Chain A
């Protein structure tokens, strides 16, 4: 049963600390998305990659967020330093493209910055 795997599921950290979230996309998928979900803003696209290359990270605060794909089986989202306003659920999704194709979501990482 192929699925997107995200770790950790939950993370509580103190303001100022570095946070790294990891995602293992479905094998063979060439597009990876990072989303942030909050009650106030809903679902926001932070960044997405195609064939491991970042195509759009305009939704991401550049000063503290960074997203990478060191290889085809791992995507990372890093926040340094973290702030309370970063508290949210972060979703990774993968697919075989965009537009008309389906995105498969992981279960998310719930981040709480205190």
Chain B
């Protein structure tokens, strides 16, 4: 069965600093990978996804993620964060099998401080 591990529950960072949010997955089949963002009191919103092709995926709001098959990772990065990036970030992978429902990480809370 698939699983997703987000290695950091909280990441504090200063404005304009770079940030990396880590995600590792386990999968025995072809992998799709997603990052979603949840702003305070909002639903989740797709940030970016990897389906195939280039391992470097660019998403909205200046975020990007790199799929690394050998390390089974899909870390999210941004070179310079803003206060408005403060949110909860979730990594997810579809379950193998017929249902293919998403398996979610527990989330990483990014707090951007001035």
Residues on A close to B: CB < 8 A? 4, 33, 42-43, 45, 48, 55-56, 91, 93, 98-100, 102-108
Residue in B32, B43, B102, B105 whose CB lies within 8 Å of A45: B102
The answer to whether the Cβ of B70 comes within 8 Å of any Cβ in the partner chain is no
- Give the CA-CA distance A108 to B42 in the complex, in Å: 7
Knowing A42-B106, A45-B101, A56-B101 are in contact, say whether A100-B51 is a contact too (CB < 8 A): yes
- Give the CA-CA distance A103 to B107 in the complex, in Å: 17
Q: Is the interface of B mostly helix, strand, loop or mixed?
A: loop
Closest 4 CB pairs of A and B: A105-B43, A99-B100, A42-B106, A105-B44
Is B43 a contact of A107 with CB atoms below 8 Å? yes
- Give the CA-CA distance A42 to B102 in the complex, in Å: 13
- Give the CA-CA distance A66 to B74 in the complex, in Å: 35
Residues on B close to A: CB < 8 A? 32, 34, 41-46, 49, 51, 90, 94, 99-102, 104-107
Q: Is the interface of A mostly helix, strand, loop or mixed?
A: strand
Is B101 a contact of A93 with CB atoms below 8 Å? no
Residue of B34, B51, B102, B104 most packed against chain A (CB within 10 A):
B102
Residue of A48, A56, A98 most packed against chain B (CB within 10 A):
A98
Is B102 a contact of A98 with CB atoms below 8 Å? yes
Tell me how far the C-beta of B51 lies from the nearest C-beta in chain A, rounded to whole angstroms. Answer: 5
Residue of B42, B44, B100, B104 most packed against chain A (CB within 10 A):
B44
A91 / chain B contacts, CB cutoff of 8 Å: 43-44
A100 / chain B contacts, CB cutoff of 8 Å: 32, 49, 51, 94
A48 / chain B contacts, CB cutoff of 8 Å: 101
Is B101 a contact of A42 with CB atoms below 8 Å? no
| Nearest residue, chain A, Cβ from B43 | A105
15 A-B interface contacts by CB (under 8 A): A4-B43, A42-B106, A42-B107, A43-B104, A55-B99, A93-B44, A98-B102, A99-B94, A99-B100, A100-B32, A102-B49, A103-B46, A103-B102, A105-B44, A107-B41
Tell me how far the C-beta of A27 lies from the nearest C-beta in chain B, rounded to whole angstroms. Answer: 17
Is B42 a contact of A107 with CB atoms below 8 Å? yes
